[in-house]
Amino acid sequence: MTTTQLNQSTLANLPNHVDIPKYDRSQLKAGIVHIGVGGFHRAHQAMYVNELLKTLGSEQWAICGIGLLENNRGLRDILQKQDYLYSLVVRHPNGKIDNKVIGSMIDFIFAPDNKQTVIDKLAHTDTKIVSLTITEGGYNLHPITGELDLDNSDIIHDIANPNDPITAYGYIAAALKVRKEQSLAAFTVQSCDNIQHNGAVTRKMLLTFTQQQDPELSKWIAEHVQFPNAMVDRITPVTTKADIEYVTENYGVSDEWPITCESFAQWVIEDNFSQGRPNWDAVGAQFVTDVTPFEKMKIRLLNAGHSVLGILGSIHGYSTIDETVTDKDFAEYLRAFMDDEVTPVLDTLDGIDLDQYKDTLIERFSNPNIKDGLARICSETSAKLPKFLLATINENLATGNDCSLATLVVATWCLYSDKQVNQNQQALDIQDAMQHELAEYAQKTATDKFAFIQLKSLFGDLSEQPAFNQLYEKSIDALYTPTRHIKSIMKSTLA
C-alpha cells in the first residue's frame, strides 16, 4: 500500500497525536525571506514562527525560503509537493516525542534558476526581514584578518556582476539597490549562524562587498539597514532513512524530508530591527540589548565542545556524539576543557549559572534519542575551528593560562587530516572545503612536526608562539607514536 503524501489536503487526516498547523495558511504573507533552508532553520526559526502563527495578528510573518546552492533543487521539489509543509520530530532525552507539522513556510525559490524572482522577492515591500543560515563558511570571512575574502571566486564574480548574483551578499545587495532606487524602506538582515557578533560580521562583510560594487549603495546600507546580533541554539542532526520511516509509521503520511531535533531550543536576539519584527519573545525567544556574552558562551562551550568530541571521538572510532560523551573518559575530558580552558575566557553573565549551563550541555549531548553524527560535527572544521576553538587558545596564550586540552584537539585534527582513518584504520568521512590543503600540510608532519600549523590562513601566527609550540609538539609526539591510543593520550594530557 502506498502512503499518501503530507500536504495541505492530507493535513486534516493526521492522527491527533500530531500537532498540525490549524491557522489559515492561505492568509499568510511572507514577511521573512530566509536564505539557507537547512535542517537547523527548519527546527529553529521556522518552528518559532510556526508557534507564533497560532496567535492572531501575526499573519504577515510567514517565511519564504531561498536555496542558493545547486543541491537545493531536490529540496525545492519536495517542499513544493508538500505545500511547504514538513514534519518536525522533537526527541526529549527521556524518550518522549513531540510530533509536529510546521506550516510557517509558504514558498521556496530555487535561486540558480530564478535569480530575478529572488531579487524581486527580497525587494518586495512585504519582506521586512531577510534572515540567513548559510553556515560559517558561507560568510567568506577570512579567519585571520576578519575581513571579507575578496579573493574568493564567487565574491569576485558577484562584485563584477550585480545582476547575476551567486552569493547571499550578491542577492541582498541587488535587492537593497532596488529599495534605494525606489525610495523604499530597508529590510533587516538577520544572521542565524554560529558566528560571534553574527549581525556585526554580516554588516561588515556586506559593506565591504558593496563598497567594491557600488559605494553609494554601501553608504545607504550603512545608514538604513539593521543587522541584529543573535545567539541561536538547537541540535539538529542530519535526517536519516529511519527518521523518514518514523514519520510514515507515526504520522500515517509520507514526508520525504522530515526534521528531527532535540527538545532544547534557545534564541537570544538583539532588539534592533529596521521595520518591526515578530513577537518571538511570546513563544520562547529572548530579546536583549547586548547578546555578546550569550554568543560567546554558546560558541565556545557548545560548538567547541562538539568539535572536541567530534575530532577526538572520530579518531577513537565512535560515530555519534551521544556514544562519545557517554564514554566517561570523553565526558571527563570535555568537562575539564570547559572548566579549565573555556570558563577563564568567558565573561560572567547575570542570571546564568555557568556550571548548570555546562551540566545541561553534557545532558543534551548524551540524549540517546539524538544520533548526531560525528561526520556532521566535523564537516567544515576549517570554517568552524577558528571561531569555536582557536580563539580560546589565543586568549589563553595571551593570559598565560594553560591550553593543553584544546591544543591536543588541534594536533588530533592534524592526524585526522593526514591519515584520514581512525585508530582502527577505518576510513573517516571527511567533508571540508579545505580538505586537500589540510591533507597537504598535515602529510608533511612526518618530516616537520609543525607543518600543519604553518597553514597561516587558518592558524595565523600560532606556530610562532613558543608556549603553543611546546604543547603542540608534545601532542604530536604522542599521537604519532603508533602504539598509543587516543584515550591514553587524553588521560596523560589531563594529568
Q: Report the first-to-last Cα separation within the chain, whole angstroms.
A: 60
Sites for ligand CS2 among residues 192-231 (CB under 6 A): 194
- Please report which residue ranges of 161-197 form alpha helices under DSSP H: 168-181
Toward ligand CS2, which CB reaches closer, 66 or 385? 385
Contact between 140 and 157 under an 8 Å Cβ cutoff? The reply is no
Describe the strand order of the beta sheet including 129-132 as a list of residue ranges: 105-110, 63-67, 32-35, 129-132, 188-191
Sites for ligand CS2 among residues 304-323 (CB under 6 A): 306
Toward ligand CS2, which CB reaches closer, 261 or 345? 261
Question: Binding pattern to ligand CS2, positions 158-197, x when CB under 6 A?
Answer: ------------------------------------x---
Toward ligand CS2, which CB reaches closer, 207 or 375? 375
C-alpha grid cell, residue 254? 509520507
* Sole binder of ligand CS2 in the list 79, 166, 235, 389 (CB under 6 A): 235
CA angle 299, 68, 246 (to 5 degrees): 70
Compute CA 155 distance to the chain's CA centroid, rounded to the nearest angstrom: 21
Toward ligand CS2, which CB reaches closer, 11 or 389? 389
Contact between 3 and 83 under an 8 Å Cβ cutoff? The reply is no
**Residue 352 to residues 108, 297, 348, Cα–Cα distance (Å):** 38, 10, 8
Cβ 484 to ligand CS2 shortest distance, Å: 27
Q: What is the DSSP letter of 13?
A: G
**Count of all residues that appear for the chain in the document:** 495
Toward ligand CS2, which CB reaches closer, 127 or 194? 194
Cβ 353 to ligand CS2 shortest distance, Å: 19
Residue keyed to cell 518514523 = 246
Cβ 377 to ligand CS2 shortest distance, Å: 5
Toward ligand CS2, which CB reaches closer, 188 or 194? 194
* 233 is a contact residue toward ligand CS2 (CB under 6 A): yes
Q: Strand, helix or coil at 196?
A: coil
Stretch in the footprint of ligand CS2 (CB under 6 A) among 232-240, 347-355, 414-422, 456-464: 232-240
**Letter for the amino acid at 332?**
E
Contact between 38 and 116 under an 8 Å Cβ cutoff? The reply is no
φ, ψ of residue 27 in degrees (nearest 5): -95, 0
Cβ 185 to ligand CS2 shortest distance, Å: 32
Toward ligand CS2, which CB reaches closer, 159 or 383? 383
- How many residues contact ligand CS2, by CB under 6 A? 8
Cβ 236 to ligand CS2 shortest distance, Å: 7
Question: Binding pattern to ligand CS2, positions 383-402, x when CB under 6 A?
Answer: -x------------------
**Residue 26 to residues 171, 187, 361, Cα–Cα distance (Å):** 27, 24, 40
Stretch in the footprint of ligand CS2 (CB under 6 A) among 233-241, 348-356, 411-419, 434-442: 233-241
List the one residue out of 106, 102, 103 whose CA is nearest residue 66.
106
Q: Strand, helix or coil at 147?
A: coil
* 234 is a contact residue toward ligand CS2 (CB under 6 A): yes
Query: Looking at beta carbons, which residue is closest to ligand CS2?
Result: 306
Binding site for ligand CS2 (CB under 6 A): 194, 233-235, 303, 306, 377, 384
